[in-house]
Structure formats: structure tokens, C-alpha cells
Chains A and B, each alone.
Chain A
């Protein structure tokens, strides 16, 4: 899919890659997701932004059911997300997830981290898996580290490996939950560059991030969340330059201050 097709979910007749309908979620008494309705088109890059505790991570994690939902519907490529078992595992295999804290498998080498999914889940022969893993590691610029274990890599390198690990599964879409917020400032760009390249390559992406430059460069749409609801959405330039809600204005002021 080329970047010219990145026109978002509004394309007529196209089934959205990810769709949330009336999604509700509580943590005990806390109402974290309130009637969330969201469509992410094929090849679309959606940036989710909002204050701490607004439910961004939770929403992101419901998409591959790392968090269950109380009610509502989640559709992946038009099909309801399975609730359990083999079908759920298969659905997850088609969705990449990149975590704030990388979560590389601490006991395995970088190469093993990337081949684990293809070998264990998709049954790809080891040799083949290793060849494509090396190509991916090359692509994200950490091929020389293949034999090391995660603890020996910098945060930026680990996060790039985590992206390669997800890509190895040839996902239909990828979720990123604050992929750069655990990184030292000088490492943020190396990770963002990889993500920009992915976006330009037509990957469907949901990215929770406060990196405005990234959002302006590649996002098709920005969604602003607060108190568990989607308060505002629009193109990056619209949203960042002319936010319509008071909450969004306050929030943008607070992050621009840094």
C-alpha cells in the first residue's frame, strides 16, 4: 500500500482496519473508557494524545484484548475481536504492539526475540525466520547487536528491536503505547525515524504519543482523549493549531511549555 492511499477511514466503501463501537470499560469504580467510537482506516496513522490517566493506554490495550471491555464492540478488519482461546491468539498475532517499557524477552538474545513469534506462533522454519529477522534488524539499524541480550542495549536500541519483533509477524496494524517516553531525549529520534518510515510504508498505526513533530509529519488524524472519552479529533494541523475544546487548549499549552 502506498502513502497516497493514506487518506484515512473516510474512504468510501473501505472496511476500517480497526473499529471500536460504544466501548465501555471500568477498573472497579473508575470509568476509564466512556462510549469510545473510533475507526482507523487501512494504512491510516492515528495519533492519540491526552493527559495522564485519560485512558489512552487502556484504549490501546483493548484493541488486542490485553484489557477486556465491559461492553461495546471491537472489530479488526471487519471481524469482531475474539474473546479467548486460539482465535484470540491468532487475532493478536496479526496486531503488533510496542510498549513503553520495550518488554523484550530478557532471557533471550536480540535475534531470538525477533524470531520467537514467527517460529513459535507461525511455525516458520528457524533458518528462514533468522534470515528475515536479520533483515528486519538491519532495517531498524541494530543488526550488529543480534547476539546480545536486551539488557546490553540502550533504550533506543531496545525499542527498535521491539518494533522489529512486532514487524516479524507481518502485522495488519500496529499499536504503539508511548514508545518514546521511557527514552533519554537523544534516543527518541532514532525510534521515531523507524516509525516514520513504517508510516510512509503504509502501515496502519495507532500511536499514543506526545511527540507533536511526529504527529505533524505522519499522522492522518489526531484524537484527543480526556476522562475516558474522545473529546476532539482532526487533522494534526487543525488540532495543534486550532484546538476547539478548552481541555485540548489547556493540555497543548501544558505540553508546549516543555
Chain B
């Protein structure tokens, strides 16, 4: 049994070998080719349908357009950052309750986690937008989008944290117990620090989901990137070109986040738990 825990730790620290690296490379190349092909098809279709005509694109040369988009981008970042912070804290708390030996804690936590994980964030947004105000609770549009996105992500993060806790070898806890450490000390000094290290890459990659979830901000008219883009669309009657530019921005942002996750994962040799 003790030998098993050692090998589990080894597996967790294992850096990607030549095979894995080659697979990553092949995947990247194939994906690259597919993307190029797709871009080509899209551009051709645009050309055919006249979407490439200057009237749909010229407003992108104006600084005001970009300033407006930049404001939206900052809005998106603000929502994503605060929702991310909420989900980290709440996810951790939910996981601690979920793994508690007290039924009064772990049963409700399990239900809450499953609920947040299962319900589409859009529904949660509608709940904060339509239902909550009926109880006389006034919220700014920022919180009407940030809270539901954060709550939805906290359910997922609770499970990510739990996977991290389960990955800490049992021997670590036994060693701490044999020193006479109390359960709470063991959790906070021994288990969580290691569990969090195991899940950092997964947490970063989960942030992509949060960024994507922020796009439902239009429901509550919060000026995020997508909402501002919709304003541009109606002002310039330029649907395809604007969505195209916006999509590229989202893709770049999320690509960068994923890169960060992969880099951290490679540095620490920790696998990304999806």
C-alpha cells in the first residue's frame, strides 16, 4: 500500500515524455491546418456574399471603435476576475464542506455543488436578473452577471479541488497524524497546500470557462466586450465583421489563458484535470 502511494506521487510529478510531446506537436499541427482551412473557407464565403466590402470594415480604423471595444474588454475582464475570485473561494469552501465528516455539511454541499455544476449559467443569470429583484433586492448589472458566473464556476472548482485533495498521498496525512497534528491543521498545513499545487493548471484552464460565461452579460445589459460589440453592430449595421473581430479577441484571450495553464502544468509536471 505504501509502495502504491509513492508511485502515485511519481505519476503526478511526471513531466511529459517524448511521446506526449510528440502527440502535443502533432495535435497542434493538425489543428493549425484545420484552422487555416476554415479561415480560408470563411473568407471565401465572405467575399462571395460581399461581407468584405469596406463599409463593413472601415469603422475598425477609427480609434473610437477600439476605445469602445477596449472598455468592453475591461468590463469582461472585471467580471471574469471577480467571478473567478468568487469561484475560487466558494469552490474551496464547498469542497471543504463536501469532504467533511459531518453529514450536516457534506450533504448540503453535495447538493449545492451538483446544482451549480448542472444548471446552465444563463439560467442562473436570469434568476438574478428576473427573480431576485422581485424580492426587493437591488443589484447592479455588474453583480447580476458576476454572481451567477462565479457561482456556476464554484461548483466545478469544488470538484477540481476535491480531485486535488484526493491526489495527495495518504502517507502525508498519516505522517502528520503521527506527529500529533489535529485534523484542521493537517488540512490547512499539509493537504491543501499540496492539493492546490496539483490543481493550479486546472484552475487556470477553468478560467477560460468563466471568460466565456461572461458573454451572457448582454442579458443584464452589462457593458462587456460582447455587449459593446452588439452596440457597434447596430450602429454600423456590420454584424459579420464585428462578430468576427470579437471572436478573434475571445479566441486570443482564451488561447493565452490555456497557454498559461499548459506552461504551468509542464513546469510543475502536474496534469490538467478537466
Q: Are A66 and B174 in touch, CB under 8 angstroms?
A: yes
Q: Are B174 and A121 in touch, CB under 8 angstroms?
A: no
> Given B175, B178, B182, which contacts A95 in the complex, CB threshold below 8 Å?
B178
Q: Are B179 and A116 in touch, CB under 8 angstroms?
A: yes
The answer to whether residues A121 and B5 also contact, given A66-B174, A103-B174, A106-B194 and a CB cut-off of 8 A, is no
> Given B171, B177, B190, B193, which contacts A101 in the complex, CB threshold below 8 Å?
B171
The answer to whether residues A103 and B180 also contact, given A116-B189, A120-B189 and a CB cut-off of 8 A, is no
Q: How far is the CA of A92 from the CA of B171 in the complex (A)?
A: 15
Main secondary structure of the interface of B (DSSP, over half): helix
Which A residues lie within 8 Å of B190 (CB)? Answer: 105
> Given B177, B189, B193, which contacts A66 in the complex, CB threshold below 8 Å?
B177
The answer to whether residues A99 and B189 also contact, given A90-B180, A105-B176 and a CB cut-off of 8 A, is no
A110 at the interface (CB under 8 A from B): no
B197 at the interface (CB under 8 A from A): yes
Number of A-B contacts (CB under 8 A): 78
Tier of interface size on chain B: 20 to 34
Which A residues between 95 and 146 are near B, CB-CB below 8 angstroms?
A: 95-97, 99-101, 103-107, 116-117, 120-121
> Given B6, B180, B197, which contacts A89 in the complex, CB threshold below 8 Å?
B180
Q: Are B174 and A99 in touch, CB under 8 angstroms?
A: yes
Q: Are B13 and A103 in touch, CB under 8 angstroms?
A: no
The answer to whether residues A99 and B182 also contact, given A104-B175, A107-B193 and a CB cut-off of 8 A, is no
Q: Are B171 and A103 in touch, CB under 8 angstroms?
A: yes
Q: How far is the CA of A87 from the CA of B166 in the complex (A)?
A: 27
Q: Are A99 and B2 in touch, CB under 8 angstroms?
A: yes
Interface centre among B9, B13, B174 (most CB of A within 10 A): B174
Q: Are A165 and B179 in touch, CB under 8 angstroms?
A: yes
The answer to whether residues A182 and B3 also contact, given A95-B178, A103-B171, A103-B172 and a CB cut-off of 8 A, is yes
B86 at the interface (CB under 8 A from A): no
Which B residues lie within 8 Å of A116 (CB)? Answer: 176, 179, 181, 189
Q: Are B174 and A89 in touch, CB under 8 angstroms?
A: no
A199 at the interface (CB under 8 A from B): no
For residue A188, give the distance in angstroms from its CB to the closest CB of chain B.
17
The answer to whether residues A92 and B6 also contact, given A107-B193, A116-B189 and a CB cut-off of 8 A, is no
For residue B9, give the distance in angstroms from its CB to the closest CB of chain A.
7
Q: How far is the CA of A86 from the CA of B181 in the complex (A)?
A: 9
Q: How far is the CA of A90 from the CA of B181 in the complex (A)?
A: 8
B185 at the interface (CB under 8 A from A): yes
Which B residues lie within 8 Å of A169 (CB)? Answer: 179-180
Write the chain B residue with the least CB distance to A97.
Answer: B178
A151 at the interface (CB under 8 A from B): yes
Which A residues lie within 8 Å of B3 (CB)? Answer: 100-101, 182
For residue A206, give the distance in angstroms from its CB to the closest CB of chain B.
13
> Given A93, A94, A103, which contacts B175 in the complex, CB threshold below 8 Å?
A103
The answer to whether residues A93 and B179 also contact, given A103-B172, A105-B172, A107-B197 and a CB cut-off of 8 A, is yes
Q: Are B194 and A107 in touch, CB under 8 angstroms?
A: yes
For residue A228, give the distance in angstroms from its CB to the closest CB of chain B.
17
Which A residues between 161 and 218 are near B, CB-CB below 8 angstroms?
A: 162, 165-166, 169, 182
Q: How far is the CA of A133 from the CA of B169 in the complex (A)?
A: 25
Q: How far is the CA of A95 from the CA of B180 in the complex (A)?
A: 9
Q: Are A117 and B193 in touch, CB under 8 angstroms?
A: no
Write the chain A residue with the least CB distance to B190.
Answer: A105
A-B contact pairs, 30 of them (CB 8 A): A64-B178, A66-B177, A89-B180, A89-B182, A90-B180, A91-B180, A93-B179, A93-B180, A94-B180, A97-B174, A99-B171, A99-B175, A101-B2, A101-B5, A101-B6, A105-B172, A105-B175, A105-B176, A105-B190, A107-B194, A107-B197, A116-B176, A116-B179, A116-B181, A116-B189, A117-B179, A117-B180, A151-B13, A166-B178, A182-B3
Starting from the known contacts A91-B180, A99-B2, A105-B175, 5 additional A-B residue pairs (CB-CB under 8 Å) come to A66-B174, A66-B177, A105-B190, A106-B172, A120-B181
Residues of B at the A interface (CB closer than 8 Å) are 2-3, 5-6, 9, 13, 169, 171-172, 174-182, 185, 189-190, 193-194, 197
